[in-house]
């Protein structure tokens, strides 16, 4: 099942709106992300940089942290908006972070012709997790 075009566009618009709030004084690379949950609830976030670069927070993790604080832990999709018209896939750390909550969620990215959509598991085919084959925590 693919995400419906109107849903993808709505989610991208929420990510674009979140991008406007990004705090990126060092890289000037503003990113917004929007997560979609069952029932249509959308939670957005933006990147927040810090002069100590390792303390910076990506938009996808910002959005997911906000969602968890609201009791939402199983996103169906995420849209990521960086530079207009250019796909902005989640970085490796964000792919791993998001996979904790739903490794098969859809990832929507804008491009010059509209949008592209992949599953998170396509973008991160061999994710790390602490669940063994029999479902027991190690």
Domain ranges of the chain: 1-78
Whole-number pLDDT of residue 133: 54
Which CATH superfamily hosts domain 1-78?
Cytidine Deaminase, domain 2 (3.40.140.10)
Per the CB < 8 A criterion, the answer to whether 73 and 101 are in contact is yes
In the numeric block, the tokens 């029932």 are attached to 39
User: Low-confidence residues of the chain, pLDDT below 70?
Assistant: 1, 132-138
pTM for this entry: 0.92
Residues recognised as catalytic = 60
pLDDT at 136: 45
Contacts 24+ apart (CB under 8 A), 128-133: 128/96, 129/99, 129/100
The Cα–Cα gap between 121 and 102 comes to: 9
CA angle 97, 72, 62 (to 5 degrees): 45
């Amino acid at each position: 099942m693919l995400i419906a075009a109107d849903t993808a566009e709505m989610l991208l618009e929420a990510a674009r709106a979140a991008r406007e709030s990004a705090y990126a004084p060092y890289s000037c690379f503003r990113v917004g992300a929007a997560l979609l949950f069952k029932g249509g609830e959308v939670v957005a976030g933006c990147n927040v940089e810090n002069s100590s670069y390792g303390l910076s927070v990506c938009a996808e993790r910002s959005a997911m942290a906000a969602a968890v604080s609201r009791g939402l832990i199983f996103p169906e999709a995420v849209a990521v908006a960086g530079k207009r018209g250019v796909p902005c896939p989640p970085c490796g750390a964000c792919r791993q972070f998001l996979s904790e909550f739903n490794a098969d969620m859809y990832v929507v990215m804008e491009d010059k012709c509209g949008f592209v959509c992949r599953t998170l598991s396509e973008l991160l085919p061999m994710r790390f997790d602490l669940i063994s084959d029999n479902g027991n925590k190690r």
